[in-house]
Chain A
Amino acid sequence: MKNIWTIASREYKLYFNTPIAYVIMGFILLVLGLIFTIAVNDVALGGGQSPPSVNAIVHGPLAFMLVFAIPAITMRLISEENREGTIELLQTAPVRDWELAVGKWLGATLFIGTIILITLVFPIILNNLVEPGIDQLMMLSGYLGILLVSMAFIALGVAISSLFTSTVAAFFTAMGINLVLWWLIAIPAQLSSPQFAAIWRYLDFGGHYNNSMARGVIELIDLVYFLSVVVVGLLVASVSLETKRWR
């Protein structure tokens, strides 16, 4: 446990030392701020119009941007250690390979979690602007969904990073997988026969989020789905770290 925390906190602090993390954080907040300002202005001008939903103006665009941002956050986590040889010191320290994978995942999750936390200012402001306030439970359920989606994307990113020595390759691979799981998988889901369509739909990240938590519906199956993706991702990363020793 202590090892996991040691590794996670190093990664978390390191993000605040690297320009790329600031760029990503700044970009996400800037875009959300713009969308928010425009939407709120519309309400002010339009008078009787119904207020914008948090899902439409915060969660939707945030999830869209995380599909691309998370690979950039996870790409170097293990690939860089593979390339620079620093993995040799980690793997000869009294740290188990799975602790290493989990620590890396936790560090990135804390960083993305920080960004997500900051975006809470938008619903809070909106809550004060509209009468009688926003649907707070639905807002929180949407945030839970965003967090789970991020945790799953990050776990996949860690797994992919462990398989590469090139950060660029890790980035594009992770982004490709995210794109498939978030959007493209809907295509085979629509085209294939009903039995297979069910499988495709089950794998669809978007489906587990858009149709449930984004609408204020929290279902066990969706929680289990995202947490299993986290477990699978971290398992792949651990096994890949372990097998590299045997080459």
Chain B
Amino acid sequence: MTTAESPKLTRKEFVSDQDVRWCPGCGDYAILAQVQKVMPEIGVARENTVFVSGIGCSSRFPYYMNTYGFHSIHGRATAIATGLKIARPELSVWVVTGDGDGLSIGGNHLIHILRRNLNVNILLFNNQIYGLTKGQFSPTSRLGLVTKSSPKGVIDNPFDAASLALGAEATFVARTVDVQAAHLQSVLRRAAEHRGTSFVEILQNCPVFNDGAFDDVTDRATIDEHQLLLEHGKPLIFGPGGDRGIRLDKNMEPEVVALNGANSEQLLVHDETNDALAYFLTRLERPRFPVPLGVLRAVQHPTYEDRVHEQIDALHGAADEKAFDALFASGDTWQVGQAK
């Protein structure tokens, strides 16, 4: 993150004067609070921070941040952020989107910002439902989910946001949940640090239209069995007291094994730079396997905006009078009457 030094800010300074208008109990509140908390730590001045969003419940986010903000149209935040970041590479640009905005109507722009690798942080609030339009299924809704637009159950196959991002060549992919403040914060910090597009899927509860969609992941009673907290260089261990792990069987299929002191060597070890492993982790089937949370992939590639400006800067040109007069007369020319 490049920015001028600024005096230490506090959370409060990132809170705008606008009333927050999400439904009571919405997971968005928790996410907003953590983002506001992490911002001062990231250390970018408020004026150099821009939140861009599309349309949906999550897309109200910029109004609540006391930074620059652009609440745009459905699905297009990533495209607007792309233009902004190319024009102003020094800004810290954040996109807030949802499973409808980012994965359905804006799916095309999402995959392309990821493949280009602009240094933009994308927070995708995945609540597996359309909230703002009052409860239709989304591209991440589970098969069979009964909603207003699927009274007999959803028949569309959902896709996995993190798998999609990896397929689109994302250089940073992470997953976290709304209710786990510390984890959410650590992922946000990592996303901000990453140079390149950071894609963060945040599992978010919509208590009004899809309450409890992630209860199995977040329920205190079962949390250990259903979450796999990823740490770079550490084996894939989960369960109460870390009593089990994940390894590959002889068919290269994942399997859960109870740890007995002797078999921990056989466990897979997380490596954020290993593409195949990252994809493999996003394919672990729920509830047979736990949901991996944390940084799935983090690799360094050149950013798009750097390449744009390298090509321009390499020419050492100037858009001045001399350059334009030369340009205008660059074809064959002829005189009529007295030359001007």
Partners in one complex: no
Residues of A whose CB lies within 8 Å of any CB of B are none
